[in-house]
Amino acid sequence: MEGRKEKGRSRESDRIAMPELVGEAPAWRELVEQLPRIACSGLPVLLLGETGTGKELVARAIHAHGARASGPFVAHNCGATPDSLIESELFGHVRGAFTGAAGDREGLFDAAERGTLFLDEIGDASALLQMKLLRVLQEGEARRVGETRLRRVDVRVLAATHRALEHAVGAGGFRPDLYFRLGAVRLRLPPLRERGRDVLLLARHFLAHAAERERVPPPALSPGLAERLLRYRWPGNVRELSNACQFAVRVAGARTLVNEGHWPESPFADSVAEHDGLHAETRALEERRLREALRRTHGNKTQAARSLGLSRQGLLKKLQRYGLSRAAVSLDDGEGAV
């Protein structure tokens, strides 16, 4: 069982302890503010979101703020192990268990004992892997390959996927019992294109980090590039932005100012010019009008909807589209560590 959160610890100190979770967009900020409580719940967590939105970063923050922070954090990509090695990979094996087993070997659950096991891309797990995971999550016990003795497992499981698992469950591609077992808490991470000016906050953060590695002062963003960053759709999300900032400083040699000439060769310019254009300007105008209406009505959504000529439901849909509504977090009853 997870321990209780240390008394006297404030929400402000929780936020300070996670400086890497940069962002001020309402959806992102409210998600981050939930993390200390989720961390101390001890429940399994399922992180949902597009590739590159920061699911492993959030998983590490949950681990760091829970009672298992002093234990190991072990990450595993669920699509990387063939079925023939799944049991050995998860639970380990003893010497002589099969041809080539020259010695004892610990599995992922052994390595994560008294800590956290992060199962990345759980949506890519084979039917066999799903079955083996469900059994250990239900029973809280595992057996090494070649052994007859069952051992208790003391591990908290966090999982992540970019796939729409609820659709996979409906189509028979993912076990519903495993889905609900893993998702006692479900967190949806917003894509970068819905986080507004967080793009610029993150860019400056990544540029400063890259500059620190090069032992130079952090460069500024040129106004032209900043405008492009805000208009770009970011299919690779935060990971794409981070890589581009690292390139600008460490490869292209940007020092005092980063401009478009320092940006890596990518579909960046073409996609902005050809696809965003008027659509991007319309989105920016609509988002600005929504923010202004909320400010005028001090956050009263009914009044804001009326001032914009929208139904309340129509306003809520637009707020969700632009990342201006509360982060989607569901906390269900469930068990903690297996």
What percentage of the chain reaches a pLDDT higher than 90?
Answer: 52
CA 292 to chain centre: 30
pLDDT digits (tens, 9 = 90+) for 229-259: 999 999 999 999 999 999 999 999 999 999 9
Looking at residue 183, what is its pLDDT?
Answer: 93
pLDDT of residue 16 exceeding 50, the answer is: no
Looking at residue 278, what is its pLDDT?
Answer: 55
pLDDT of residue 15 exceeding 90, the answer is: no
pLDDT digits (tens, 9 = 90+) for 150-184: 788 899 999 999 998 988 998 999 999 999 999 99
Identify the residue with better confidence: 91 or 23: 23
pTM for the structure as a whole: 0.73
> Which residues pair with residue 85 across a beta bridge?
none
Looking at residue 33, what is its pLDDT?
Answer: 92
CA 241 to chain centre: 15
Give the model's confidence band at 35: pLDDT under 50 very low, under 70 low, under 90 confident, else very high. very high
Which contacts qualify for 178-182: CB closer than 8 Å, 24 or more apart?
Answer: 178/130, 178/133, 178/134, 178/137, 179/46, 180/332, 181/44, 181/134, 181/137, 181/138, 181/334, 182/44, 182/46, 182/119, 182/122, 182/137, 182/157
Looking at residue 274, what is its pLDDT?
Answer: 46
CB 198 within 8 A of CB 188: no
pLDDT digits (tens, 9 = 90+) for 179-195: 999 999 999 999 999 99
Give the CA angle between residues 165, 333, 313 to the nearest 5°: 60
Mean pLDDT, rounded, for 282-291: 76
Query: Which token pair is 11?
Result: 């929400």
Q: Are strands 185-188 and 45-48 parallel, antiparallel or unpaired?
A: parallel
Looking at residue 39, what is its pLDDT?
Answer: 95
pLDDT of residue 95 exceeding 80, the answer is: no
Looking at residue 279, what is its pLDDT?
Answer: 58
93-107, 132-146, 186-200, 293-307: which has the highest mean pLDDT? 186-200
Q: How far apart are CA 261 and CA 273, in angstroms?
A: 16
Looking at residue 94, what is its pLDDT?
Answer: 61
Q: Are strands 185-188 and 73-77 parallel, antiparallel or unpaired?
A: unpaired
Structural domains of the chain ordered from first start? 11-190+327-331 (3.40.50.300), 193-321 (1.10.8.60)
Give the model's confidence band at 327: pLDDT under 50 very low, under 70 low, under 90 confident, else very high. very low
